[in-house]
Chains A and B, each alone.
Chain A
Amino acid sequence: MSASSAAKPSVVTHALKDALIAGIVAFGLFVLLLGFLADDTLGKLRPLPRPVLLAAAVGIVFVGRFLVSLLYYNAAALRLLLGELFVSILALAKRFRFALLAAMVALAIAWVLYSPGDWPLATMIVVAILFAVWLGLTPALLALAVLFPIAFYSNPYYLGIAIIILTYVMLGWGLNIVVGLAGLLDLGYVAFYAVGAYSYAIIAQAYGWSFWVCLPLAGLFAAFFGVLLGFPVLRLRGDYLAIVTLAFGEIVRIVLLNWVSLTNGPNGIGSIPRASFFGVPFTADDDGFAARFGFEFDPTHRTVFLFYLILALALITNWVTIRLRKLPVGRAWEALREDEIAVRSLGINPTNTKLTAFAIGAMFGGFAGAFFATRQGFISPDSFTFPESALILAIVVLGGMGSQIGVAIAAIVMTASFELFREFEQFRLVIFGFAMVGIMIWRPRGLISSREPSVYLKERKTISAEHVAEGHG
């Protein structure tokens, strides 16, 4: 006790002396490097003094050296200080993670609007890893998604790919309700995507209603088709259900192809009205978005808007699914997947349960379809073929049925790898096949196969695949 209190002043003086020396050295180093700026604006070169910058640099060195040498003699104190600092920062960050995210969104929007810049890919990766360590995988992905348009503002190609990826994330999440939660194998999901796209295109063209009116209508139509498919397949399960849904997808496509008076057949529907910023169109004229809000006109504004639109739609899908899982109907879906007979023995009507799963899954497919139509501006039956269904199903299965984050990762990996391997066009399906085989060998229940309970007592426990399913799904 007395030894340590006696030792203290000498430690502090020593540290101060040490820091002073470091400060003098730093001053000597920085006085020319930072202290003066060679300025040639007036035609001749002259030194411009920057005393504040110099003082800051020397100050940092001084304080830093002081702290280091002070704590160097007391390693335990150093550890304690740093440890507590780290823990409290972490706790603070965790506690206000939503506020942080909101701040980031605000920052992102402000950045895009006022000072469009370009962040290199490496920065994004570093930021991604930092976020993942700091906040966990899900918020990290979310933060990255929010920041993405800022980083790649001047690169519409990447923005375009990101929009496609997010469309597939949304489709995956929509199909996940039917396949992952309710356990009904649906090979014709693209039909609902098509119904949503066509209903949006036709309604928007015929009545000139805005995107925001047509979007729910498209979802409603798709949900109606979901029920329409649901009725005949109520008694079917497994392979038989898969065949009928496959046929349903083809029927919808062939109807679209042949009902020329409504759908314009194989020529498709063109010049579909574009989405507007809540009524303000993205055009170069005086009524346009740029003019209204006082920006320079830039076609990328629309792309960024579309990006945030599909991000919002996908997140709504995810949020609704998570909420539904906690409600009786979502619980009933999961129970239905586990054991239909047990579900009936508990007095739950399996018919209604299946129909709601089909309808809600189809509705989100319809929303995605409407988005697709407004983004492309042109749709034809060629966009809604069986491989499309297969891709969405592959995303759900590879992602781990029922896992939201797994589906998102699978959608990113699959869609992005399609773009990455564009040069090996002919080998794409071969690589795809190898990837599938690999996943089936090493992760037979999908990338993320644990199921998170929707209610828990004290802490969430995700339970690994081995316990999750014995013999099925």
Chain B
Amino acid sequence: MSEPLLSIKGVSAFYGSIAALKGIDVEVMPGEIVTIIGANGAGKSTLMMTICGNPQAREGSITFEDRDITHLPTHEIMRMKIAQSPEGRRIFPRMTVFENLQMGAATAQGGSFEEDLAKVFKLFPILEQRRSQRGGTLSGGEQQMLAIGRALMSRPRLLLLDEPSLGLAPLVVRQIFSAIRDLNQREKLTIFLVEQNAFHALKLAHRGYVMVNGRIAMQGTGKELLEKPEVRSAYLEGGR
């Protein structure tokens, strides 16, 4: 296989003096969907935020497209071909859907705005219907679609998705995950997905990592992990 698009080597990150990440190694190959699953507080979102430089990694290195991004400020990292749909969606509630999407294209190069917009509207047709509506008036699922759409407007090579299924109805979750699969298969977009919904995430992903207490506890292909009894008992059948 070729060079990894994103490679995280021995990364540790701290909130004050508390270690949230303790030597994480993760690689994402071009064209892959890679997922990180784990319980609350395992450090999944922190890993996502550390890639984006907030907080910055205290140890280890993060490289994207062969460039060391470990110590770059957030906005410079996001100017490269990385886009993020952050946890809790964080769309701009008072701005319209269209204005939100325009904001997503703030760092896009060249005049491909209309084309990108058409792609987003094709992926999530509901957004086109809602285009003059305020972000804050959308339903949760629509807001998630908007957050993903906004991230796509910058023409990324790597899309970081932080808990896209958070607080959504099962039907909407399925819709969003099928959109993610579409993006990966049709657009060859590389996707790094942090999820609590382990079943859906592992079914979708080529490879997965399981995080426990700031460390990578297990890794493997999505299928392998789904079949592992530890994973099943901890994340899939735990409630039963």
Contact = CB atoms under 8 A, between A and B. Distances in A.
B136 A467 contact: yes
Contacts of A334: 92, 94-95, 99
A350 B99 contact: no
Interface centre among A331, A345, A455, A467 (most CB of B within 10 A): A345
A278 interface: no
B103 interface: yes
Contacts of A349: 75
Given A345-B52, A347-B79, A347-B107, A463 B92 contact: no
Contact of B106 (A338, A346, A456): A346
Contact of B94 (A346, A461, A469): A469
Interface stretch (B19-27, B28-36, B83-91, B190-198): B83-91
Nearest to B97: A453
B206 interface: no
A335 B95 contact: yes
Contacts of B220: none
Contact of B137 (A338, A344, A348, A467): A467
A342 B131 contact: no
B216 to A, nearest CB: 24
A40 interface: no
A454 interface: yes
A457 B107 CA distance: 23
Given A345-B90, A457-B131, A461-B132, A331 B74 contact: no
Contacts of B107: 346-348
Given A344-B75, A345-B84, A346-B154, A467 B91 contact: no
A342 to B, nearest CB: 4
Interface in B108-150: 131-132, 134, 136-137, 150
A340 B213 CA distance: 29
Contacts of B54: 341, 344
Q: Chain B: interface residue count, which band?
A: 20 to 34
B209 interface: no
Contacts of A457: 98, 131-132
Given A461-B132, A470-B136, A348 B92 contact: no
A328 interface: yes
A444 B54 CA distance: 35
Given A346-B154, A347-B75, A470-B136, A454 B90 contact: no
Nearest to B90: A342
Interface string B57-92: 000000000000000001111110001101000111
B65 to A, nearest CB: 15
B195 to A, nearest CB: 18
Contacts of B137: 463, 467
Contacts of A350: 75
Contacts of A302: none
B132 to A, nearest CB: 5
B99 A345 contact: no
Nearest to A463: B134
B229 interface: no
A339 interface: yes
Contacts of B93: 338, 469-470
B7 interface: no
B94 A338 contact: yes
A339 B100 CA distance: 12
Contacts of B91: 339, 342
A334 B92 CA distance: 9
Given A344-B74, A461-B132, A331 B102 contact: yes
Interface in A321-338: 328, 331-332, 334-335, 338
A358 B81 CA distance: 30
A406 to B, nearest CB: 15
B38 interface: no
Contacts of A344: 54, 74-75, 78
Nearest to B54: A344
Contacts of A443: none
A108 B47 CA distance: 66
A468 interface: yes
Interface centre among B75, B77, B86, B136 (most CB of A within 10 A): B75
Interface in A375-416: none
Contacts of A468: 94, 134, 136
A36 B137 CA distance: 71
A347 B79 CA distance: 5
Nearest to A353: B75
A338 B107 CA distance: 18
B132 A347 contact: no
A343 B106 CA distance: 10
A348 B96 contact: no
Contact of B103 (A335, A453, A461, A469): A335
Interface centre among A332, A334, A342, A349 (most CB of B within 10 A): A342
Contacts of B78: 344-347
A274 interface: no
Given A339-B90, A345-B90, A453 B96 contact: yes
Contacts of B131: 457
B103 A346 contact: yes
Given A346-B78, A347-B75, A341 B86 contact: yes
Contacts of A463: 134, 137
A301 interface: no
Nearest to B131: A457
A344 B76 CA distance: 9
B32 to A, nearest CB: 22
B208 interface: no
A345 B102 CA distance: 14
30 contacts: A331-B99, A331-B102, A331-B103, A331-B106, A332-B103, A332-B106, A334-B99, A335-B95, A335-B103, A338-B93, A343-B103, A344-B78, A345-B52, A345-B78, A346-B78, A346-B83, A347-B76, A347-B78, A350-B75, A453-B98, A455-B96, A455-B99, A456-B96, A457-B132, A461-B132, A463-B134, A467-B136, A469-B93, A469-B136, A470-B93
Leading 9 A-B pairs by shortest Cβ distance: A347-B78, A347-B107, A342-B90, A338-B92, A347-B79, A344-B74, A453-B96, A349-B75, A467-B137
Given A345-B52, A345-B84, 6 more contacts: A331-B99, A342-B86, A456-B96, A467-B137, A469-B94, A469-B136
Interface of A: 328, 331-332, 334-335, 338-339, 341-350, 451, 453-457, 461, 463, 467-470
